[in-house]
Amino acid sequence: MAKRIFTSESVTEGHPDKVCDQIADAVLDNIIKEDAAARVACEAFCTTGMVTVMGEISTGCYVDIPKIVRTVVNDIGYCDPLQGFDGNTCAVLTSIDEQSPDIAMGVNRAFDSGSDPLDLTGAGDQGIMFGFACRETPEFMPLPISLAHALAKRLSFARKSGLLPFLRPDGKTQVTVEYDGDKPVRVEAVVVSTQHAAHAELADVRKHIEEAVIREIIPARLLDNGTKIFINPTGRFVTGGPAGDTGLTGRKIIVDTYGGYSRHGGGAFSGKDPTKVDRSASYAARWAAKNVVAAGLAEKCELQLAYAIGVAHPVSVMADTFGTGKADDEKIAAAVTRTFDFRPAAIIRGFEMLRPIYRAFSNYGHMGREDLNAPWEAADKVEALKNNL
């Protein structure tokens, strides 16, 4: 088998792009808690001393957006004005319009609606969405992104718990895995860049991150004398977060999904209510792909869904098992179509998506989140898929 390497990255909740994702999803959560029928497409950007929240929101409820922003920023750990950005003193600007009536028309009454109530809700946009699953990890995720997320979560834990008190909120992780064919056999490289207090010595930062983060997360069997470890390779990372780099919602879509291991349709998730198929259909595609693999129909599976705006049913369903399928990909795609209902209203109802659940998923990936009991992680259609093949 040919050897190859693959690299994925993750970021901590203090990364400026993730600050914005959390703000957008916190706004969505607060609105959907009061008005389940709201239409929300919320985005944010942040920089030194300010946050701007913008988008299209149609709702009959009121939420205090500046208060939400400040709560999120402080929760992350940006609460000291000496850092150049904090939730107590940052300016909060808003620019909110209502959802376009041309879009609302197709969402509220689908073009292809029939007598079934689930036919009434059309897709909130056209587009393509991908879902993926493989057997590399217990949660059916690719190993590189799984390890990168685990390292990022460990960084945040070490900071918040006081284990490594010199840490600050911003950080990035990266893991390179070597494969023998399709089997991951070792870690080729690990990169951790973490914001730290000005008084922290580089040697101490590197020593403690390797001991308390990297070697706590990466299994020893995957590390060897050839594994390259880079910790704060520039030598200093004091200025971080929005004071060091402008953040923007939706700029970490590869982190949110499969770390680049699978294709991506291009649509971001955060800040969007579930009528937006960028979000809901991506979750549904992950659900279906995971069930295909869990059913033993393939070792790995990528599903693509495509929608037309205002139309309830997807215009296409495609499966790619990369030569590992127990049946032709066309037959697997047909079985998936018979087993899963990909209409937006069916996805929303099945996943109970009209709940304030979204901010929790805005960090450390939306897929593979068994720790959050994500309904799209349920392997509950295994037998149905086998029967429909």
Half-sphere exposure (CA, 13 Å, Cβ side) for 325? Answer: 20
Average pLDDT (352-357) is 97
pLDDT in tens, 244-290: 999 999 999 999 999 999 999 999 999 999 999 999 999 999 999 99
Helical axes 16-34 vs 65-76, angle rounded to 10°: 130
Mark residue 240 as left, alpha or beta (left: phi above 0; alpha: psi -120 to 50; beta: remaining): beta
Q: How many CB atoms lie within 10 A of CB 47?
A: 19
Query: What pLDDT was estimated at residue 303?
Result: 98
pLDDT in tens, 357-380: 999 999 999 999 999 999 999 999
The DSSP secondary structure of 19-83, one letter per residue, reads: HHHHHHHHHHHHHHHH-TT-EEEEEEEEETTEEEEEEEEE-SS---HHHHHHHHHHHHT---GGG
From the list 20, 85, 15, 16, the residue with the least C-alpha distance to 52 is: 20
Check whether 315 has a pLDDT greater than 70.
yes
- Structural contact between residues 148 and 9, judged by C-beta atoms closer than 8 angstroms: yes
Instruction: Give me the helices (H) in the chain, please.
Output: 16-34, 65-76, 101-108, 143-160, 202-209, 215-217, 253-256, 277-294, 329-339, 344-351, 382-388
Check whether 1 has a pLDDT greater than 70.
no
Query: What pLDDT was estimated at residue 131?
Result: 98
pLDDT in tens, 38-75: 999 999 999 999 999 999 999 999 999 999 999 999 99
Check whether 216 has a pLDDT greater than 80.
yes
Supply 58's token pair.
């149609």
Supply 55's token pair.
């988008």
Give the residue carrying structure tokens 């493989």: 134
Average pLDDT (310-326) is 95
User: Any idea how long the chain is?
Assistant: 389
85 confidence band (pLDDT: 50, 70, 90): very high
The 8-class DSSP code of residue 85 comes to -
End-to-end, the C-alpha distance of the chain in Å comes to: 30
Better-predicted residue by pLDDT, 318 or 99: 318
For residues 299 and 293, what is the distance between their CA atoms, to the nearest angstrom?
A: 6
For residues 277 and 55, what is the distance between their CA atoms, to the nearest angstrom?
A: 17
